[in-house]
Amino acid sequence: MPPHLPDLVDRIEAAAKPWCAAIHGSALGAGLEVALGCRFRVAAPDASLGLPEVTLGIVPGAGGTVRTPRLVGISVAVDLVTSGKPLCAPSAQAAGLIDAVLAGDLRAAAIAFARDALDAPLPLPASRRPVASPGPAFWPAREDALTKAAKGAIVPLRALVCLKAAVDAPFAQAMAFERETFLELRGSEQAAALRHLFFAERAAPRPPMLRDVEPLPLRNVAVIGGGTMGAGPVAALRQEGLPVTLIERDDEAVQRGLDPMRSSRPTRPISIPGH
């Protein structure tokens, strides 16, 4: 449903009054792409910025592969886009992705930054900044490295092609190519599988059938076997002040610290009471 995000970012970038993005928390994917359309970007010290779309089987779809190299250079952009790993705010500033790291009250500091910036000539918007070609040997080397690291994933290599278009083609043409690639990959089998994995991993610790279940309090705990796999839990439970009953297979295991599961003798419980 329009307006689509690339059009919104273009509108922000072309505004008569310059926008300043004040970033806290995580500006990832579309959040960062909106910030890339702003004339200035400032961030709190603990903010993180990145383009993690490749981890979901897609490429950035609103200028991430086209504006980023115009701000940080193609080498940093390739690392950022094809890995999906975010940058902390100080690293983002050092790379040129943001203009300043502001401590304290971010809103007040960002307003002060923006007012001070108006006393100097405005920087060019990202879409009008040049991007230097890395040379002919750069792309084959990166393609070889990504092919080995991708392990069958197609998206990092497709993202690399989008970044190459950002260098070789005019801005509008590179944007159209990025969007076409994004829409194509969004319906791919790999994207569907990675989206499923993303939500499944986050749902696993919170099973729906246990949503309204209150866990019972722990009063006593039993650990079977005090060998390598049992000693750690016993120590952790005792550290929390819980009474523990340790069940060993025989006296020899207790005395010598042998693996209790190797013996076939009858079990003997050892009570470790609480304090």
Asked whether the beta carbons of 89 and 24 are under 8 A apart, the reply is no
User: Which residues are designated catalytic?
Assistant: 33, 53
Number of H helices, E strands in the chain: 12, 9
As given in the structure block, the two tokens for residue 11 are: 């509108």
Alpha carbons 160 and 176: distance in angstroms, whole number: 15
Give exposure, 131-168, as e/b (b: 16+ Cβ within 10 Å): beebeeeebeebeeebeeeeeebebbebbbbbbbbbbe
Using DSSP bridges, classify how beta strands 221-224 and 268-272 pair: parallel, antiparallel or unpaired. unpaired
Q: Which amino acid is at 230?
A: G
Whole-angstrom distance, CA of residue 100 vs CA of residue 93:
6
* Cβ atoms within 10 Å, residue 199: 9
Dihedral over alpha carbons 10, 134, 169, 51 (to 10 degrees):
-40
